[in-house]
A and B are shown apart, each in its own frame.
Chain A
């Protein structure tokens, strides 16, 4: 049973860079053909798709965040990470990592518990 666990700083200052990591257990990133996602949710609001990484290294990003977002993986550690630059209070949210099959319409079927990131001075 694949499990995902996010880890992050909790608090980031405005204009700085947010970095959160997702550790995959119960299945290796490099041995599967899956997409790995980051999705965020401000408190009391809806879900926002941030981006995804394919095992080949290909990435897709939300156009509204594309200039600030990088998703990468460390295959040796079975981890993938989100980096978001020049953060503002609007980036305060619960950040979820997730996994889905290599075909989009099969959906996102494994989610982490989420990690809360607050942007504040």
Chain B
């Protein structure tokens, strides 16, 4: 079965850039979405089709996808961005979530 791997944690200082990688076999051939989940809340879509932001998502969130790795980048990270982040892609008609990354803003 298809798997998406993320680092368990990423730490970033306020105002700095956080890069969250998501790895999978030939992931660049697929489209990737990203979800943000804060404690006790439901996930929120923050990126779709690799690099497109839904309405209401700040411009500091951006995305890329090439080769075997997709990356969600948070520029000028703020304390409110501290959350778990999950990538997601489709393998045929099977939706696959990444293992998740906890972003800590120190």
Contacts and interface: CB of A to CB of B under 8 A. Distances in A.
A107 B97 contact: no
Nearest to B97: A47
Interface stretch (A26-34, A58-66, A79-87): A58-66
Specify the main secondary structure of chain B where it touches its partner. Answer: strand
B100 interface: yes
A47 B49 contact: no
What size tier do the contact residues of chain A reach? 20 to 34
Interface in B24-50: 31, 33, 35, 37, 42-45, 47-50
B95 A46 contact: no
A96 B97 CA distance: 14
A107 B33 contact: yes
Of residues B42, B50, B98, which shows the largest number of chain A Cβ atoms within 10 Å of its Cβ?
Answer: B42
Interface of A: 37, 39, 46-49, 52, 60, 62-64, 96, 104-109, 111-114
